Every structure is written in structure tokens, then in C-alpha cells.
Chains A and B, each alone.
Chain A
Amino acid sequence: MNATVGSPALRRDTERGLVAGVLAGFAARFGIDPVILRVGYVIVVVATGGVALLAYPVAWAAMPTSGGSPAPLSRVGGLPSIGGSWRIAVGVGLLTLSALLAFRELGIWWSDALVWPLVLAAFGAAVLWGRSRGGNGRPEPTAPAWRGAPGGSPPFESAGGDHETAAPARPSFADLYRGVFGILLVVGAALLFLTSNDILGGLRDAALTAVVVVVAIALILAPFLWRLGRNLALERAERIRSQERAELAAHLHDSVLQTLTLMQKRAADPREVAALARRQERELRDWLAGDGRRTAEPSFAAALRSAAEQVEDDHRVAIDVVVVGDRELDAHTDAVLGAAREAMLNAAKHAAAPGPIRVYAEADEDTIETFVRDHGPGFDPAQVGDDRHGVRDSIVARMNRAGGRATIRAAPEGGTEVGLAIGNDGAPRESGSA
């Protein structure tokens, strides 16, 4: 058989071949039924103890395809064209062989009986791996144009690719065939190893037998399990992603879309629209920031912000809050929070609204200072009418009772500023108006 390798008329028949078309090519060349040739080849392989099997990859490497693709050996330099799982498998087998020969030369050697089993096992395992990699649903482009014209130059197609693209029904069959072929190679290698070591005869090496069998099974199953695991992981990631998408969509629908609809309905009332937009903005920011601030333990800063939000919602105004420092809630913070809330309410009710109400607070362990400023017309606290008890009672009296101080004054460029100060020693560190 080896004598005819390289004959110019000899071409691999990738159309009718089962593995790589070598035997089909021989059959076509000599006018024999490929089935007869295949049966004969198997007999020869068994008879020679596996040596004849090696002829197959060698013949494959040396033969050009019937489609006009040159022999693999003749285009080893063309890297992009190399890529079929068969080619890789052969490479792995040959590499194993050369490694073994190198070991042998170096004197690291135990038995010649090891050579064929190992080479075959490597070849078979590589076939299986190549199959599991190629089987991920990556569609190989079909090339009917050059198929129909035998003389045409084919694009970069591997021998394996020829099989996969031959016809819609072929790939699965060729795939299965190659899988079985790989498994047979590995099992054959294991059996070969066992017989050549006389292990099958005796029970004494039952343990070794088991180990070899397990290794063989692992070699066979590994690629399938690997692919299965990978697919499961991909599926899981996809599921998580789609869940997140659904959650986001639900949130946007519940909040943002509703608000936008409301805003269109209330378009005639700019104050209402501004308030809606502001509330939505606040909610969206909170949501984007995660629930960090909401679920944080209550503090002065958080309480002041939520008081401001409450007033914003109730009175359709904008309140900008800036807080420096923070402290835990106690009697002092309660007094300041109550008074600040009252000041904000007052500003919201009486300030004509160019520009937001500004709240600034500075808090540390000893003192709290808070300022609430609006751009309203301003009022004289000495002339507060009876209908505006809020200022005197809720702000000034509340701060005085807690041992702090409240100042109400007109800001230089119009508007009113309420200053609240309280310290642990009862003496404010800095007066509201300097």
C-alpha cells in the first residue's frame, strides 16, 4: 500500500470518503468498491497489530483532494489553510511519536510496547477534541462554486471542513463517524497496551487494568463533558442577563414612563411638570446608586435630605441640600431637623420661586449649623402676623428650648435666610450671620 503513496493520479475522494477520503481515493484509483477496501484495511490493521493504521494519516498527508485542494504536506507553509481537526489529530499523533522516539534515544525507556498505544491514544483523543471544538455550531461557509468546478482553486478549506460542508445531512454523519473513530482509536490503544503487557491474562494486575480503562474512558468523555459544562455556563450567564434586562425594563416602565406620561398631561402647569421631573430624577438617582443611601442607618444628613424631599413633593418646589460632615441622631439633631423642616416649609410657601431653596448643613460631634435660604421677597420676623406662627414657635422657640439659637435675616441680594446653630455645650460655634 505504501508503495503507491504519492502516485500523481491518486486523489483523496472527499465526496465519498468516510474519514478523510483516503480509502475512497484508492478505490476510485483502482476501480474497487470502497467498502471492500475498507473491510480489507481493517483486517490488515488487526493482522499487523495496528502498524498499518499509521499508514492512513501518512497517506492522507501525502494525497491531494479530488476537489483540487493540494496535499496537506505540500502546503505546510500555508498556515491559514491548516486547521481541520484531522490535521491537528495527525499532528498530535506524530508529535507523540517523535517525543517517544526522543525518550527512547535518551535512554528513558521502559518498553517498546508503549509506542503504538500512546500514539494511537493521542491521535484518537485529538480527533475527539477537534470534534467537540468544531461542533459548537460555527457555520462553515459552503462553497458550491468551486465544488462544481473541479479545476477551480478552492478557498482555504480543511479536510474536515470538506466533510462538514458537503451537504446538510452529511456533517452529522461524518461527525458521528469521526467520534466513533476517535473512540475506537483510544479503546484500541488501551487494549493494545493491555495485551502487549500480558495484563489481560492475569488477575494480578487487575488494578492496573482498571486504571488504564478509566484513563481511556476519561480521554473519551473529557471533551464531551467539557463542552456540556461550557454550554451550561453560557446558558446560565444568558439567563442572568435576560433577568437583569427584564428588571430594568420593569423599573423604567413603572417609574420613568409613568412620570413622562404624567408630564405630558400636565404640560400646561410648568411648576407641576418641574416637580414631577425633579421627583423622578431623585428616584432614578437613588435607584442607580443602589440602595446604599436608603438603607444606611439613619443619620443627620440622611434625615435632613429626606425632610427636604418631603417638602419638595408636598409643595412643588426645588430644594438643593448640601451637607458637610454627619452625626448620629440625638436630641440636638431632632431640634435642628424639626426647625429646618419648618424653615423649608416656610420658604416653600412664601418664596416666589426663581431658583431653588438652598439648604446647607455642617455637622460634627460637637456642633450643628444649618442654613435655609430662599429667594423670596423676604419678611421682617418682628412683624410676623398671627397667621405665621410657624416661624416664631416652630423655629425660634424650638431651637431655644434645645439650647441652640435661630436667626432669621434678609439675605443681602433679596430672599430670606434662616440660620440654626446648636452645640453640645449650648453655645453655637458660629453665629448664623457672622
Chain B
Amino acid sequence: MSSPPPSVVIVDDHELFRAGVRAELEDLVEIRAEASSVEDAVAAILREKPDVVLLDVHMPGGGGVEVIRQVAPTRPAQRFLALSVSDAAEDVIAVIRAGARGYVTKSIAGDELAVAVRRIRDGDAVFSPRLAGFVLDAFHGEIPESEIDPELDQLTPREREVLRLIARGYLYKEIAQQLDISPKTVEAHVGAVLRKLQLSSRHELSRWAVERRLVD
């Protein structure tokens, strides 16, 4: 934690939630701006150029996905961490595929959130246990050999292992210890999974919203 605190823009249409996050993160990150609508968010992000945007998935006017879409042309490398009360798979997968580098539920503790923000700032991916579960589920089924793009459509055994441990509630350093690898390697695996999640054309991912309705 020796590096300077990351700069953050908080985007959420719930005033109460923004206030709560602000109180929890105040000493841990540098909060540059808050926004409560898609237009305000885009303007604030382009103005402040923060390290990380904390992005609510559900907002009127297109939600977090729309914010990412509108910021992308000007700041393609902008890093987003999605936050949501909903664990509905279709929402989570949609915002990740739009370009968010991580997803956590709003019930996350303040210090954990600060760690997640730092990790996103450093270019890593952040998966909640539930997101790890979704991904394992999505890459679970067999698909016809001819349709497989091995680069994108399948997880390696090691990636599976890492996701499983995340789903079990392990922290990155616990995973590294468990698998006898370095924390950097764990991060590399998670980053690879994120890339597959965003680029794979597995129909489990593209048609998730239609086929699944996991709400919990």
C-alpha cells in the first residue's frame, strides 16, 4: 500500500449508497467526483480522468453498460469496477463483456473494496466469488469440437483451479499459497479468464440473458 491512493469517480444513482461508499473509502482512495446519471458520469469521467470508475450496473438510461460504451471512444483504457446489488448473471456478464475489469456485490466491506480498486488500477481483474461461479458455469458445458476456439472458448485446468478457489472465498495470496505459485501468476490467470469472458463467442455467454435467470 505504498503507492499513491488511486483516484476514483463514483457512479451510482442512489445517493445513500454513494454516501456510504464515500465514508468507507475516504481515507483509502482519492474520490474525485460523483455522478448519478449516465450523462453526468460520462462528463465527470472525461473531465477527471480517474484511475478507476466505481460503476453501478443498474441505472436509468442504459445503466453501467451505457456509461462504458460512451466513454470508450475517448478513453478506451479507462478502468471500470462494476458494483451491483443484483447478482443476476445476465447483468454481470453484460457489464463485464462491455469492458468492466471486475465485478463485486455492493455488500462488500470497505477495506476489501479499497483493495479491489487498487487491483483494478494496477490493471488486474477482480472477480467476486459469485462471478467466478458464473464463469465456471458458463464454461462448464461441452461444445462441439468444430466450434471451439481453444484460445477463447475453454478454460485451462489451472484457470479452473483459480476460479474454483475464488468461488470458495480465497484471497489471491491464499490462492497463491494453495497452488504454490506466485500472486502475480494468480493475477495473470484471472486476467486471462477476463479476456476469454470478454471475447469468447460461446453462446452460453452471448445468450446468457435469455437462457439463465439466476437471481440470488
Contact surface of A with B, Cβ cutoff 8 Å:
285, 288-289, 292-293, 305, 320-325, 354-355, 358, 360, 362, 371, 373, 411-413, 417, 434
Q: Does chain A have a CB within 8 A of B164?
A: yes
Binds A, one of B46-54, B58-66, B130-138: B130-138
Contact of A413 among B136, B168, B174 (CB under 8 A): B174
Asked whether, in the complex, the Cβ of A413 is within 8 Å of the Cβ of B173, the reply is yes
Q: Which residue of A lies closest to B176 (CB)?
A: A412
Q: Does chain A have a CB within 8 A of B186?
A: no
Q: How far is the CA of A371 from the CA of B132 in the complex (A)?
A: 15
Residues of B contacting A289 in the complex (Cβ-Cβ under 8 angstroms): 213, 215
Residues of B contacting A413 in the complex (Cβ-Cβ under 8 angstroms): 171, 173-174
Asked whether, in the complex, the Cβ of A325 is within 8 Å of the Cβ of B140, the reply is yes
Q: Does chain A have a CB within 8 A of B129?
A: yes
Tell me the count of chain B residues lying within 8 A, CB to CB, of chain A. Answer: 23
Q: How far is the CA of A411 from the CA of B169 in the complex (A)?
A: 10
Q: How far is the CA of A139 from the CA of B132 in the complex (A)?
A: 60
Contact of A412 among B129, B137, B177 (CB under 8 A): B177
Q: How far is the CA of A413 from the CA of B216 in the complex (A)?
A: 27
Q: Which residue of B lies closest to A364 (CB)?
A: B140
Asked whether, in the complex, the Cβ of A412 is within 8 Å of the Cβ of B178, the reply is yes
Q: Does chain A have a CB within 8 A of B170?
A: yes
Q: Can you list the 8 inter-chain pairs with the closest CB atoms, starting with the nearest?
A: A358-B169, A322-B133, A289-B215, A412-B174, A360-B168, A324-B136, A360-B167, A412-B177
Q: Does chain A have a CB within 8 A of B43?
A: no
Q: How far is the CA of A285 from the CA of B215 in the complex (A)?
A: 7
Asked whether, in the complex, the Cβ of A358 is within 8 Å of the Cβ of B129, the reply is yes
Q: Does chain A have a CB within 8 A of B19?
A: no
Residues of A contacting B178 in the complex (Cβ-Cβ under 8 angstroms): 412, 434
Q: How far is the CA of A324 from the CA of B164 in the complex (A)?
A: 10
- B128 → chain A, closest Cβ, in Å? 9
Q: Does chain A have a CB within 8 A of B109?
A: yes
Asked whether, in the complex, the Cβ of B130 is within 8 Å of the Cβ of A322, the reply is yes
Q: Does chain A have a CB within 8 A of B179?
A: yes
Residues of A contacting B161 in the complex (Cβ-Cβ under 8 angstroms): 434
Residues of A contacting B177 in the complex (Cβ-Cβ under 8 angstroms): 412
Q: How far is the CA of A321 from the CA of B173 in the complex (A)?
A: 22
Q: How far is the CA of A413 from the CA of B167 in the complex (A)?
A: 16
Q: How far is the CA of A412 from the CA of B109 in the complex (A)?
A: 20
Asked whether, in the complex, the Cβ of A355 is within 8 Å of the Cβ of B109, the reply is yes
Q: Which residue of B lies closest to A286 (CB)?
A: B215
Residues of A contacting B179 in the complex (Cβ-Cβ under 8 angstroms): 434
